[in-house]
Chains A and B, each alone.
Chain A
Amino acid sequence: MNVAVAKTGKGRAVSDLFASVEGRLPGPPAVIAARREAFENYERLGLPHRRLEEWKYTDLRALVSEVLPLAASPDAAALKRAADAVKAHAIAGARKLVLVDGVFAADLSDVKALGSETSLKTLRETLETDAGLLNTALTDAVIALNAAMATDGVVLSIADGAQLSAPIQIIHIATAASASSFTRSQVAIGKGARATIVESFVAAGSKAYQVNDAVLVKVGDDADVAHIRLMDDAPDAVNVTSQFVTVGANVKLNFFNMTSGAAVSRLQGFITLAGEGSELSVNGVNLLKQTEHGDTTLVVDHAVPNCVSRETFRAVIDDRAHSVFQGRIIVRPDAQKTDGKMMTRALLLSDEAEADNKPELEIFADDVSCGHGATAGALDDSLLFYLKARGLPEKQAQALLIQAFVGEAIEQIADDGLREHVIGIAERWLERRS
């Protein structure tokens, strides 16, 4: 993509946007310089389109008709709506960290309750002394744009050996309509620590907004981590999230994503197994209806020997919705005894629903066990008839089978309370359907 093309059409809109908000972006001159560089990267690349292999099924340039202006700071009424949204979406017992329209809201957050083993700074504070957070190992256009525009985020550090009993829930709330927010967060989990991190994306009365989030996760040796992401944005929103995860040795990491909102969404996860003996479980559910487009793109990189990775994905696709799953497992030359498997299944509830599954194995070691599987199909008529013959109306019979279908991914969440919370989101999605 050359500069001339990037500056036309949608490229132009963002370019104007950056110039107009540069003064509002946090950070000392060195950080602003890094942002400008990131933005130039973005300009050079342009919004991703279908001729880029990684974005083949998610032509952002076609799907996102315009890049919206940066959201203004929320006013009192917006903060009141946000407070109500926090109540509605909080997980019982969780320590809440709230970002409203891309800015950390201390008043809505449980900062003091975090305890001494968890340190919290905002991205804003961190950038005063360190521009490093704006760098990532891999850059595409949306990641570059995020580095250029990120207004805030949480920078969490969980001490070595900490055994956190309460989940930490980062809640992204959109209150501004027709505006975009850019957030970037970091979660560093110490050696031998045990923690549960939940990320929630919800709307508080806002419509047609755009979210571009980036998360950097570092998991120390011997840690035991559950990481759950619940993307339940407004039906006309756009959410593009990039996650960079580095996993140490002998770690247990259980990641789960649920996409149950947004007109256009993409979660791209880049997970590197950098220490031996770790077990990675990555699971997800897409619940899509109408013309929604939901993309989960994962790269699991086995950089060292003796790690296990498991990926279980389920997509439920209704109406004219489109679900994308791209899963790549890379096994580096040294990563012998790697055991990596992924399975993705799509349930098509209408003739016009579409599923694209692209599993890829890139194996450079010779003593490994890797595999993948993908299926797509409709609900089984014989099961539906059995349930109907027992008194369930059509929609209820379908709902029961859909719950069972997604249950295979949801049951990977070990914590009873969290699992019930996620099942509740799926149930509400099914109720909206009938």
Chain B
Amino acid sequence: MPLLEVKDLKVRVEEREILHGLTLTVNEGEVHAIMGPNGSGKSTLSHVIAGKPGYEVTDGQILFRGEDLLEMDPHERAAKGVFLAFQYPVEIPGVTTMNFLRTALNAQRKARGESELMVPDFLKKVREVSKSLNIPQDMLKRGVNVGFSGGEKKRNEVLQMALFEPSLCILDEMDSGLDIDALRIAADGVNALRSPKRAMVVITHYQRLLNYIVPDVVHVMSKGRVVKSGGKELALELEASGYAQFEDAA
């Protein structure tokens, strides 16, 4: 059974249809890249998979391990193993990163019927992962993302990915706003999490990110549909020729 099956998905925002019948299948262990110009519906797809309010699914299905994802609340999807790394992670003043990580992890474990992680085990794990991502300990004591640079916010997303151990990671424009060094650190963090049991969907406008996170499959989205799929060489092709040909095709 595929990990994620998006079947003929149609989505509206207010009165406008953004996705016009999108189909996508992702198996465990695979890394898919979704590329496309601005306004092609890439972020809409990621939001609908995570359960963000404000989107109306008018047709189609999203199955996660065969279960209807659209029937689940966002927190239930998270507990099942769906993780969205936000393009713009929010700042939450007054909630320390450490408190947030522990509360979220334990909420997910509780939903799965697992026991709460003991504090010493949790702290040890956070320290290990944050060290590997070059996240200073004092950042964890500050409000979630408050005063963080763009790169720090993205690393904080990767830190959560590493702690929560989701089976599906959706990375929404992870490269936006990052310089090359920050991108490399975040990408290294993501690559360390690649596993035969975990799939990733990397959403990006630019081919650059795919030099660091090398995909198994590349999809091109245009005007709310996947218009072409291929191997990683498709990304290079796009880099050379641009999106215009696909906009015409769609």
A residues engaging B (CB < 8 A)?
Answer: 380-383, 385-394, 396-397, 400-401, 403-405, 407-408
Assess A383 versus B78: contact at CB under 8 Å? Given A391-B104, A400-B103. no
B78 contact from A389, A403, A404, A405, Cβ within 8 A: A389
Q: Separation in Å of the B96 CB from the closest CB of chain A?
A: 9
Q: Which residues of chain B from 71 to 107 have any CB-CB distance to chain A below 8 Å in the complex? A: 73-75, 77-79, 84, 86, 89-90, 92-95, 100, 103-105, 107
Asked if B86 and A386 sit within 8 Å, CB to CB, the answer is: yes
- 8 interchain pairs (CB within 8 A)? A382-B90, A383-B92, A386-B92, A388-B51, A389-B78, A392-B103, A396-B103, A407-B94
> Which residues of A have CB within 8 Å of B104?
387, 390-392
Q: Separation in Å of the A120 CB from the closest CB of chain B?
A: 39
Asked if A385 and B73 sit within 8 Å, CB to CB, the answer is: no
B53 contact from A380, A385, A387, A401, Cβ within 8 A: A385
Assess A393 versus B73: contact at CB under 8 Å? Given A385-B52, A386-B89, A400-B100. yes
> Which residues of A have CB within 8 Å of B89?
386
B107 contact from A382, A396, A404, Cβ within 8 A: A396
Q: Separation in Å of the A170 CB from the closest CB of chain B?
A: 30
Assess A393 versus B75: contact at CB under 8 Å? Given A383-B92, A404-B95. yes
Output the nearest chain B residue to A380 by Cβ-Cβ distance: B90
Asked if B74 and A403 sit within 8 Å, CB to CB, the answer is: no
Q: Separation in Å of the B212 CB from the closest CB of chain A?
A: 24
Asked if A404 and B93 sit within 8 Å, CB to CB, the answer is: yes
B residues engaging A (CB < 8 A)?
Answer: 50-53, 73-75, 77-79, 84, 86, 89-90, 92-95, 100, 103-105, 107-108, 111, 143, 160, 164
Q: How far is the CA of A397 from the CA of B89 in the complex (A)?
A: 16
Inter-chain pairs besides A380-B90, A388-B73, A408-B93, 9 sampled, C-beta below 8 Å = A381-B53, A382-B90, A383-B90, A386-B90, A388-B75, A389-B50, A389-B78, A390-B75, A401-B95
Output the nearest chain A residue to B145 by Cβ-Cβ distance: A386
Q: How far is the CA of A389 from the CA of B82 in the complex (A)?
A: 8
> Which residues of A have CB within 8 Å of B105?
391
> Which residues of B have CB within 8 Å of A405?
94
B79 contact from A386, A391, A397, A401, Cβ within 8 A: A391
Output the nearest chain A residue to B110 by Cβ-Cβ distance: A391
Output the nearest chain B residue to A399 by Cβ-Cβ distance: B103
Asked if A404 and B92 sit within 8 Å, CB to CB, the answer is: yes
Q: Separation in Å of the A384 CB from the closest CB of chain B?
A: 9
A388 contact from B74, B94, B100, B160, Cβ within 8 A: B74
Output the nearest chain B residue to A397 by Cβ-Cβ distance: B75
| Residue of A380, A390, A393 with most chain B CB atoms under a 10 A cut-off | A390
B108 contact from A381, A382, A391, A401, Cβ within 8 A: A391
Q: How far is the CA of A382 from the CA of B143 in the complex (A)?
A: 16
Q: A-side binding surface: helix, strand, loop or mixed?
A: helix
Asked if A400 and B95 sit within 8 Å, CB to CB, the answer is: yes
> Which residues of B have CB within 8 Å of A385?
52-53, 74
Assess A390 versus B53: contact at CB under 8 Å? Given A396-B107, A400-B103, A408-B94. no
> Which residues of B have CB within 8 Å of A393?
73, 75, 107
Asked if A391 and B111 sit within 8 Å, CB to CB, the answer is: yes
Asked if B93 and A391 sit within 8 Å, CB to CB, the answer is: no
Q: How far is the CA of A404 from the CA of B160 in the complex (A)?
A: 20
Assess A404 versus B53: contact at CB under 8 Å? Given A390-B104, A392-B104. no
Q: Separation in Å of the B152 CB from the closest CB of chain A?
A: 16
> Which residues of B have CB within 8 Å of A404?
92-95, 143
Output the nearest chain A residue to B77 by Cβ-Cβ distance: A389
> Which residues of B have CB within 8 Å of A392?
75, 103-104, 107
The 5 residue pairs across chains A and B that have the minimum distance between CB atoms: A404-B94, A391-B108, A391-B78, A390-B104, A388-B74
Asked if A391 and B95 sit within 8 Å, CB to CB, the answer is: no
Q: How far is the CA of A394 from the CA of B100 in the complex (A)?
A: 15
Q: How far is the CA of A211 from the CA of B86 in the complex (A)?
A: 51
Asked if A388 and B103 sit within 8 Å, CB to CB, the answer is: no
A390 contact from B52, B93, B94, B160, Cβ within 8 A: B160
Output the nearest chain A residue to B107 by Cβ-Cβ distance: A391
> Which residues of B have CB within 8 Å of A397?
75
Asked if A390 and B78 sit within 8 Å, CB to CB, the answer is: yes
> Which residues of A have CB within 8 Å of B84?
389
Q: Separation in Å of the B144 CB from the closest CB of chain A?
A: 8
Q: How far is the CA of A248 from the CA of B86 in the complex (A)?
A: 53
> Which residues of B have CB within 8 Å of A389?
50-52, 74-75, 77-78, 84, 86
Q: How far is the CA of A382 from the CA of B53 in the complex (A)?
A: 10
Q: How far is the CA of A394 from the CA of B74 in the complex (A)?
A: 9
Q: How far is the CA of A407 from the CA of B96 in the complex (A)?
A: 11
Q: Separation in Å of the B242 CB from the closest CB of chain A?
A: 33
> Which residues of B have CB within 8 Å of A382?
90
Q: Separation in Å of the A201 CB from the closest CB of chain B?
A: 27
Q: How far is the CA of A400 from the CA of B143 in the complex (A)?
A: 12
Asked if A401 and B92 sit within 8 Å, CB to CB, the answer is: yes
Q: Separation in Å of the B215 CB from the closest CB of chain A?
A: 23
Q: Separation in Å of the A231 CB from the closest CB of chain B?
A: 23
> Which residues of A have CB within 8 Å of B93?
404, 408
Q: Separation in Å of the A418 CB from the closest CB of chain B?
A: 19
Q: How far is the CA of A385 from the CA of B77 in the complex (A)?
A: 12
> Which residues of A have CB within 8 Å of B164?
390-391
Output the nearest chain A residue to B99 by Cβ-Cβ distance: A400
Q: How far is the CA of A117 from the CA of B170 in the complex (A)?
A: 65
> Which residues of A have CB within 8 Å of B103?
392, 396, 400
Assess A391 versus B75: contact at CB under 8 Å? Given A396-B103, A400-B100, A400-B103. yes
> Which residues of A have CB within 8 Å of B108?
390-391
> Which residues of B have CB within 8 Å of A394?
73, 75
| Residue of B52, B53, B84, B94 with most chain A CB atoms under a 10 A cut-off | B94
Q: How far is the CA of A385 from the CA of B86 in the complex (A)?
A: 11
